[in-house]
Structures are given as C-alpha cells and as structure tokens.
C-alpha cells in the first residue's frame, strides 16, 4: 500500500472543503424562510448564495435571465419569469435593482 503524499492530502482536503461548502449552502437555502413576493427588499445572504452559485432567481427560482448593461466586472440581469432585476459581479457581489 502506497503512502499518500502531501499533495494528495491537499487535493482530498480541497474536495472535502468544497463538498462541505455546497452542503452548508444547500441546507441554508432549504431552511431559509422565503419572504412574500411583494416584499422585495435587500437580498439575504442565502438569496445571494442562490443567485451567485446556482444562477437561480431568489424570488421565483427561475433559471433564465436577460443580460443588461455591464460595466467593470458587474452586469445587470433580469429574470425572464418574474422580471426581478439584479446587479451581480460573480462570485463576489449581488444586489437588487
């Protein structure tokens, strides 16, 4: 049996860290209370995670967006299904516009 190298340990650790982050994000998303659609205030951390990680609309969970104006690293997008609009700079920033 071969002894694992430090590089192999680092690779496995990164895989575990990635899986843990995805699992925590999914659990937070599933447990989060959704606000009524009429109350479209600032995005919660869970909603930002859903938008930036999975590119799903936090309001209707739709997956289709129209691209709008862009500048620097950010771009405006609009959900095709519910017409909610966001300014995003993946993977760092998201806000409702």
Q: Which of 63, 88, 89 is nearest to 77 (CA)?
A: 88
Q: Domain residues of the chain, as ranges?
A: 32-96
Per-residue pLDDT of the chain (97 residues; tens, 9 = 90+): 788 788 888 888 788 887 777 776 666 666 665 555 556 788 888 889 889 888 889 888 888 999 999 888 899 999 999 999 999 998 889 999 9
Amino acid 45: pLDDT = 87
Alpha carbon 55 to its chain centroid, in Å, reads: 6
- Whether the model clears a pTM of 0.85, i.e. scores above it, the answer is no
């Amino acid at each position: 049996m071969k002894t694992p190298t430090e590089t192999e340990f680092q690779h496995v650790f990164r895989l575990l860290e990635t899986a843990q982050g995805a699992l925590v994000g999914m659990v937070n998303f599933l447990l989060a209370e959704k606000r009524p659609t009429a109350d479209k205030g600032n995005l919660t951390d869970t909603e930002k995670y859903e938008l930036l990680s999975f590119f799903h609309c936090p309001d209707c969970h739709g997956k289709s967006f129209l691209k709008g104006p862009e500048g620097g690293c950010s771009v405006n997008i609009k959900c095709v299904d519910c017409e909610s609009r966001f300014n995003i700079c993946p993977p760092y920033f998201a806000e409702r516009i």
